[in-house]
Amino acid sequence: MGFSWPASHSVNFVSAHDGFTLYDLVSYNFKHNDANGEGGNDGSNDNLSWNCGYEGETNDSFIKALRSRQMKNFHLALMISLGTPMMLMGDEYAHTRYGNNNSYGHDTALNHFQWGLLEGRRSNHFRFFKEVIKFRQTSHVFSRDTFLNKNDVTWHEDNWDNYDSKFLAFTFHDKSGGGIYLAFNAHDYFIEVSIPSPPPNTRWFRVVDTNLESPDDFVRGGVPGIGSNYNVAPYSSILLEAKK
């Protein structure tokens, strides 16, 4: 008889102590390690990052909004993944090391927890991160400790062989009669999607739309009135919850 490891044995993460912070992952294409005294030769050159159109700090409101969306997208993807989520300290307030991906030797603000930045972002960035964590903790769908089987998820996808496709949508089914619909749009244009019918005697409520500003990006009780279609914004994600 085969043996299956519980889902909690899988550790999921976007950022870690080595490499870019979450903010730097969406703000830098290249490492900036000159302060480490090794001529920029230390640290990985392969960071799988995208600066959203400008390298480093900027006052461009469009780029800043895009970076904010991207951080929320990453956090949502992490928190809906089965297994044990691991977060890097400071990502909850968008800590930056200014592109330094090997900062272990610095006893400075590069590595210190910045309480002032946390307070300044408590009502928006931090709020979203906190609320998504709470949602994960209280949702029946994400409390399971077994990996998904074919009856637990419906993939709303018929484009698996198209390597240019950057859109993914699926529904997690809840054995108690509910469900969670998620869509991630990594294209640079809107995608109008057909929303599947909710389970019997339920209707869809919008809990997350990362394209919206705080506090509308996360609404704990959900926003009713979801129709048969939803226009998912570029570089954004949505979460709908089915309930009575």
What whole-number percentage of the chain has pLDDT above 90?
A: 88
Residues 90 and 206 placed together within one structural domain of the fold: no
Average pLDDT, the chain: 95
Q: Is 28 found in the same domain as 67?
A: yes
Q: Are residues 187 and 71 in the same domain?
A: no
If asked whether residues 20 and 131 sit together in one domain, one would say yes
Structurally, the chain folds into a number of domains equal to 2
- Reported as a single tens digit per residue, the pLDDT across 214-226 is 999 999 999 999 9
Write down which residue in 138, 160, 189 finishes a domain: 138
pLDDT of residue 123: 96
pLDDT of residue 1: 44
Q: How many CB atoms lie within 10 A of CB 217?
A: 23
- Domain closes at, from 112, 138, 164: 138
Higher pLDDT, 55 or 161: 55
Are both 134 and 83 inside the same structural domain?
yes
Q: Which domain holds residue 204?
A: 148-243
Is 126 contained in some domain?
A: yes
**DSSP letter for each residue of 1-61:** ------GGG-EEES--SSS--HHHHTT-SS---GGGSSTT-SS-S------TTSSS----H
- Name 154's bridge partners: 171
Instruction: Please tell me the pTM assigned to this model.
Output: 0.95
Asked, for residue 143, whether it belongs to a domain, the answer is no
User: 84 - beta bridge partners?
Assistant: 11
132 lies in the same domain as 32: yes
